[in-house]
Chains A and B, each alone.
Chain A
């Protein structure tokens, strides 16, 4: 029975099937919102209001010709998309969507899982770097170096700001942090500056405008994904959608009080809160223009990182006052 339940968790909910459908839905939501903000229609054709468009795109890409460049590192080039998708999907299991119960913790909820989740969210960046580097295309190589350059910018402020609420809640376990802010909603307000910084950093991690520098199409064509086509590109795109959901889920857990209430209310909570975060990310995407890679570094080290440190110090100070 326990095995069956675990299998259900892995395959149905919140496992692969749920991830697939929800992340494609999130992509549709993001695309539609972005289009409406730009006075366009966005997807309209497939399904009601085009909601099935990302799935249709996925199927279309899966059936396309799949080309591996002659000079590319074939093994790595092929393995990376599946590897990346597996990594971000594993990140989904760590979110306290189903393992919300503190008294009966499951295997994926443990003290320190916030660090593991941050680590898992760092790995896709390296996947993108390796993908660009192993395809040996000039545009991919430039894109790959841009991926790494950007990583040095946003990673530190992201870690600092995501760990700030954990410090206030004095816990390194996602479910506990969420529960703490549910009991003290007033304290969650203190984290608003950190939330804003984290939103910007997550935008950079997801490589969306204004940080879509590694695959800026007008500069370096497809950037890291220039040589990818067919199934591999489909998997990469799905991976980015899943990454969007996981990153939004992380922010929702840490800053917005998590997803309480059991199976169905938890699911509704999850959908509402992640969509709220994705809404903010789309808003940021629609209202900015792409900046240069050196501007990313100066933005994060001149403004984001110092602000994150100040926020952390303030939180530590307040924590001293409270206890």
Chain B
């Protein structure tokens, strides 16, 4: 007997709204259907109405985890458009924050993976240690989530000796803990039993379906924008691209833990070789008419921003391709022929950030279950039409 189970848009495994409708045969998944459009916010449209500088803060708010990724990707593109070169020290600090962000994002993911697998102790410990990196980010920028460190032409805040010492000390603790989690995550029998062989994505499929980030690298493809198309100062920084060849969730876990350890090395290198000088240059208000593609290796994979300018102080078009969007096709492939029990794990293993990836609105009729994609204008007409015959409800009165 086969029936459909709706996972989402509201489900304890999902922290953000997305619908996965799985057709199951007993406990085995035969078909999976992804439904998007529950979290559309119109960020791209909004960006066209804001100036270049205002947009940095808008881009940060695309995502709560990789806020620095979107802001940096945008800022790099705008710097290319304006033809300015940020100073070395500014770039070093920018990359330092982005590596710290990678650390916090991967630690967060590790905890979530533990929770999805029902290993709550792992989750609690990892998230406790994640506080260390959050504290580092707070000492650098004053904020835990939206660091607001980027400016067009550099960064906004400098580092002093005391901060550098604090970061290096904390880094030692983090390195120790991560080595322990590497051991635990790859040897704890019940945890490994849940991860190994789950969500198989072969090397060919991963390339064909355009997977990105740790999902792709866990299938044995050493692809990383930091190495392939180095931006900022990544060509000066020694690091390795981490891969795994097990092609499953365990491989994705291993890749992320290895990347953590690599990130610690990068951070240490950056702090020890921090050049002196100014942290930013003055940027012009307008950009010449042009277009640019900016690539950035976010913790979740390759992030792409397309920016088009028309000579004014606002972008004409801004298009965001978040890494989660690139991984959706691969997710469907991974879900098929798996167990229901593995859905949250497979889904979590791409580290989905749904609010980064939402682009359109699909309307589902509650009675007939028919679906259609609508535009903003027809949505407005629809709402006017529906509201016309309804009498206005009275406002709440005091006392209630």
Contacts and interface: CB of A to CB of B under 8 A. Distances in A.
Nearest to A298: B193
A291 B6 CA distance: 22
B118 A216 contact: yes
Contacts of B122: 289
| Chain B at the A interface: SS class | helix
Contacts of A291: 190, 193-194
Contacts of B194: 289-292
Contacts of A40: 124
A295 B121 contact: no
Nearest to A289: B119
A138 interface: yes
Interface in A267-306: 286-295
A216 B125 contact: no
A219 B121 contact: no
Given A218-B115, A218-B118, A290-B119, A138 B128 contact: no
A289 B114 contact: yes
Contacts of A52: none
Contact of A218 (B13, B124, B190): B13
A293 B188 CA distance: 18
A278 to B, nearest CB: 17
Nearest to A213: B341
A4 B26 CA distance: 53
B340 A39 contact: no
Interface string A122-155: 0000000000000000110010010000000000
Given A210-B190, A218-B344, A220-B340, A293 B124 contact: no
B5 A292 contact: no
A179 to B, nearest CB: 38
Nearest to B113: A289
B188 A289 contact: yes
Contacts of B12: 217-218, 221
Interface size class of A (residues with CB under 8 A): 20 to 34
Interface string B1-30: 001011000011100000000000011000
Given A218-B12, A219-B340, A293-B27, A38 B121 contact: yes
A38 B124 contact: yes
A235 to B, nearest CB: 23
Contacts of B191: 288-289
A209 interface: yes
B351 interface: no
A37 interface: yes
Nearest to B195: A289
A217 B341 CA distance: 10
A294 B338 CA distance: 12
A212 B117 CA distance: 11
Nearest to B117: A289
A138 B191 CA distance: 27
B33 interface: no
A217 B122 CA distance: 17
Interface in B92-123: 114-122
A142 B118 contact: no
A217 B123 CA distance: 15
Contacts of B339: 292, 294
Nearest to B345: A218
Contacts of B125: 38-39
Interface in B171-202: 188, 190-191, 193-194
Contacts of B190: 210, 288-291
Contacts of A290: 117-119, 190, 194
A37 B121 contact: yes
A287 B5 CA distance: 31
B171 to A, nearest CB: 21
Contacts of A293: 27, 341
Contacts of A221: 11-12
Contacts of B5: 138-139, 142
B343 interface: yes
Given A139-B5, A142-B340, A218-B13, A38 B193 contact: no
Contacts of B340: 142, 219-220
Interface in A3-38: 37-38
Contact of B116 (A139, A145, A218): A218
Contacts of B341: 213, 216, 219, 292-293
Interface string A213-228: 1001111110000000
Contact of B118 (A37, A38, A210, A287): A210
Given A139-B5, A216-B341, A286 B27 contact: no
Contacts of A217: 12-13
Nearest to A220: B340
A221 B10 CA distance: 10
Contacts of A292: 193-194, 339, 341-342
Contacts of A209: 118-120
A219 B198 CA distance: 15
Contacts of B128: 39
A175 to B, nearest CB: 37
Query: Residue among A213, A288, A295 with the most chain B CB within 10 A?
Result: A288
A216 B392 CA distance: 44
7 contacts: A138-B5, A138-B6, A213-B341, A216-B118, A288-B188, A289-B122, A292-B339
Interface of B: 3, 5-6, 11-13, 26-27, 114-122, 124-125, 128, 188, 190-191, 193-194, 339-344
Given A216-B118, A221-B12, A290-B117, 15 more contacts: A38-B120, A209-B119, A209-B120, A217-B13, A218-B115, A219-B344, A287-B121, A288-B119, A289-B114, A289-B188, A290-B190, A290-B194, A292-B194, A294-B27, A294-B339
